[in-house]
Structure 1
Amino acid sequence: MADLLALVEARLRTGLGEPDARAAVTFLGTDRIEVLRFTDGDVVRYATLGMSGQPMTDPTAALADPVKGPRAELVLSVRAGLADTDKVLRPLAVLAASPQVEGLVVAPGASLDVGEPLWPGAPFTSVLVAEPGGLVEDLDLDAPMDPVRFLPLLPMTPNEAAWKRVHGAAALQERWLNGGTDLRDPLRTSVSLA
């Protein structure tokens, strides 16, 4: 796993540059999850490292395959200096550990909720998992292992999360696009859902 995570970190550095901070969190019964911070001008990106060490398995499967299955890391981008977003490290690590702890398969279109603000004063307790491939390219691994995908996270207000449950991820993303929503604004309000 250490070799795999070294490759994952190298891919993150290729896509995002050198991290300027990192923190590690370990939950009982799970592998260590690190969160790396990358600063690019007025944008701060937080990326998990460790979630991809084990493949995600369908919770209904009788046996977990130790090699095959989807692998991912999470990437959150926010505008710097508007809120104390560095406090997102623990909630991000919780989300990254959820496949091991809860048997979740994290995939584009999914909602993930931490049940508390992502950082102090944040209007968000959950995120929408977006399509990979924008910031960091997938990392292909030797067969039979699936590639590591770097999944962007888009913070959702409680109203947006409720609306998404009814109308779907694509409809919410269309609302954001039509509303000119700055999804990197750590203090933004909910998009108009009427």
Structure 2
Amino acid sequence: MRTALGEPDARAAVTFLGADRIEVLRFREGDVVRYATLGMSAHPMTDPAAMVADPVRGPRAELVLSVRAGVADTDKVLRPLAVLAASPQVEGVVVVPGAALDVGGPLWPGAPFTSVLVAEPGGLVADLELDAPLEPVRFLPLLPMTPNEAAWKRVHGAQALRERWLTHGTDLRDPARRSVPLD
């Protein structure tokens, strides 16, 4: 992460019962602040339907959220991000691109977003290759969604929502943006 994002200027750690410690690092780059999890990839994600969890094989990931700095109190996103990063250990969730992850409340105080869309890896932070047989760590961007966008995504799919954002020129880094028109 340091190669792609530089040195973090802040970090926080959260520990959940039954899960390893998750850290959230904050990186500033101009008018953008990025929050990245650290610790989610310590164990491979395992399909909850699997009879036995493989301690070596399986996808590994960390989460990255990018927002415009100074528009909202986004530093309060640390705990919700840690909750999302702990979900593979705690709930057996396999986090993949196109998935929606809900935090059950605003991502930060006053945020119009209660969930995120998991985007494709490989843009901002390159995959981290690990020694075989371990799969690489993928750095998955998170795109905040309003409750209406999340509901629309459930019906029409992630690709349709991404196309709608693109068509309307939606600034997905704006922490105070409104929902994209969904009619």
Q: TM-score, normalised by structure 1?
A: 0.94
Alpha-carbon deviations, 1:118-176, whole Å to 9, x = none?
00000000000000011100001111100000000000000000000000000000000
1:9-158 correspondence runs (5 A): 12-158=1-147
Partner of 1:139, secondary structure, is: coil
Alpha-carbon deviations, 1:42-90, whole Å to 9, x = none?
0000000000000000000000000000000000000000000000000
Structure-1 separation of matches of 2:167 and 2:90: 37
Which residue number in structure 2 is paired with residue 5 of structure 1? none
Partner of 1:159, secondary structure, is: helix
Partner of 2:159, secondary structure, is: helix
Structure-1 separation of matches of 2:114 and 2:96: 18
Gaps spanning 5+ residues in structure 2: where? none
- The letter of the residue matching 1:41 is G
CA RMSD of aligned residues (A): 0.3
Partner of 1:149, secondary structure, is: strand
CA drift of 1:189 comes to: 0.2
- The letter of the residue matching 1:154 is L
Structure-2 separation of matches of 1:144 and 1:58: 18
Task: Give the length in aligned residue pairs.
Answer: 183
Gaps spanning 5+ residues in structure 1: where? 1-11
Which residue number in structure 2 is paired with residue 183 of structure 1? 172
Partner of 2:120, secondary structure, is: coil
- Comparing both structures, which one devotes a greater share of its residues to helix? 1
- The letter of the residue matching 2:46 is T
Structure-2 separation of matches of 1:20 and 1:141: 26
- The letter of the residue matching 1:174 is E
Which residue number in structure 2 is paired with residue 171 of structure 1? 160
Structure-1 separation of matches of 2:56 and 2:134: 6
